[in-house]
């Protein structure tokens, strides 16, 4: 197969909608997502390159082809030099809509997968809260002093939820779910999830929920090998403001798996010398025009695009006070 375009160009992605027993219709209301009728949609996979789902490209010469095909053809020129792997797009980006409580779960790290779970891969993720009802919350980690023995005892006795930390959340909060952190998204919260490209999840507790006549399987033995009981006083990420003449910029999180920033600006931003990492741009508010020398598209609230590492020059033009969440490789300056 020959390249349909000599170099990667800015890509606009089409979402993949996933029906879930805890899902709802809020994405339709908030972001005007074209949800399939009569389904409870829990997840919108905005950028995905997995066997469980791969994003379709919505613009340009690669329109209607998958992100997996783009990665196969363009490799490092799309992904960048800062990532360890260039055979899979290094980020999985989703919107989650919790109309009901999600299961209590935990994700493994890469070391645990190499040692115990070779069929799995590690997953580090960060949540950006987009909307939250009054009293909206998540479960994040354990109460101080909890041990594995106590957790297993409580789990058997049906009181495991009582030793998990319930954390209130509101629009604009950021929470990192590092591997080993026991967590759950609770009803009334919608968020943007930026994570490593892995679907490895060990379910610990599911409220006795029945789906298609069966209870969903639990993974207690796997989870007990990776759960972290360390205490952290403040679960929220505190963005670090950076002085810039081109608008407001904040560092949200920096970890080996990714870097996340928040941009809010008027006028235009020009990006040059992007070779280290692709950037994934999610529009939270307003709208932003994305263009290079030959291609252009507009991101509306709730839409997502990819700026490839091989782009020589990309211009972003803010409309209506655009607010963006931008992610890329850890350790790389995303605004160059």
Cα distance between residue 102 and residue 205, in whole Å = 9
Q: Return the number of other C-beta atoms located less than 10 Å from residue 309's C-beta.
A: 26
Euclidean distance between CA atoms 155 and 163, whole angstroms: 10
Tokens of 177: 């779910």
| Burial class for 287, CB neighbours closer than 10 Å (0-12, 13-18, 19+) | middle
For residues 315 and 333, what is the distance between their CA atoms, to the nearest angstrom?
17
Q: Strands of 189-195's sheet, edge to edge?
A: 16-24, 41-47, 92-98, 189-195, 125-132, 174-177
For residues 160 and 326, what is the distance between their CA atoms, to the nearest angstrom?
Answer: 36
- Catalytic residue selected from 165, 203, 262, 279: 203
Q: Which of 39, 66, 113, 124 is nearest to 90 (CA)?
A: 124
Instruction: Assign residue 286 a region (left: φ > 0; alpha: ψ between -120 and 50; beta: otherwise).
Output: left
The rounded distance, in Å, linking the Cα atoms of 58 and 65 is 8
* 203 among known catalytic residues: yes
- Both tokens of 8, joined, read 């990667």
Residue whose entry in the numeric block shows the structure tokens 């800015």: 10
Q: Could you tell me the two tokens for 85?
A: 């792997």
Report how far residue 178's alpha carbon sits from residue 314's, in angstroms, rounded to the nearest whole number. Answer: 32
Alpha-carbon distance of 122 to 291, in angstroms, equals 34
- Tell me the catalytic residues: 203
């Amino acid at each position: 197969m020959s390249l349909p375009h000599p170099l990667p160009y800015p890509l606009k992605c089409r979402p993949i909608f996933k029906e879930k027993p805890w899902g709802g219709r809020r994405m339709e209301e908030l972001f005007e997502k074209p949800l399939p009728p009569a389904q409870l949609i829990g997840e919108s996979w905005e950028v995905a390159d997995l066997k469980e789902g791969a994003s379709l490209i919505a613009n340009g010469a690669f329109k209607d082809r998958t992100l997996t095909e783009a990665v196969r053809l363009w490799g490092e020129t799309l992904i960048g030099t800062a990532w360890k792997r260039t055979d899979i797009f290094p980020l999985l980006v989703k919107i989650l809509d919790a109309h009901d409580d999600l299961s209590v779960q935990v994700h493994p790290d890469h070391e645990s997968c190499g040692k115990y779970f070779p069929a799995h891969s590690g997953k580090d993720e960060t949540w950006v809260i987009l909307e939250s009802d009054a009293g909206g919350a998540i479960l994040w980690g354990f109460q101080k002093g909890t041990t594995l023995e106590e957790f297993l005892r409580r789990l058997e006795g049906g009181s495991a939820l009582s030793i998990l930390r319930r954390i209130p959340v509101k629009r604009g909060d950021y929470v990192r779910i590092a591997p080993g952190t026991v967590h759950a998204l609770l009803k009334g919260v919608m968020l943007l999830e930026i994570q490593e490209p892995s679907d490895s999840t060990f379910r610990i507790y599911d409220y006795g929920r029945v789906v298609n006549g069966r209870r969903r399987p639990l993974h207690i033995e796997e989870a007990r090998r990776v759960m972290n009981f360390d205490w952290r006083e403040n679960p929220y990420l505190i963005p670090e403001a950076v002085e810039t003449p081109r608008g407001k910029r904040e560092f949200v999180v920096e970890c080996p798996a990714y870097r996340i920033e928040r941009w809010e600006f008027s006028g235009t931003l020009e990006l040059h010398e992007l070779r280290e990492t692709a950037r994934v741009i999610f529009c939270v508010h307003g709208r932003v025009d994305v263009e290079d020398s030959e291609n252009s598209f507009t991101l509306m609230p709730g839409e997502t695009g990819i700026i490839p590492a091989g782009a020589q020059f990309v211009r972003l033009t803010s409309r209506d006070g655009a607010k963006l969440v931008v992610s890329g490789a850890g350790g790389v300056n995303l605004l160059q």
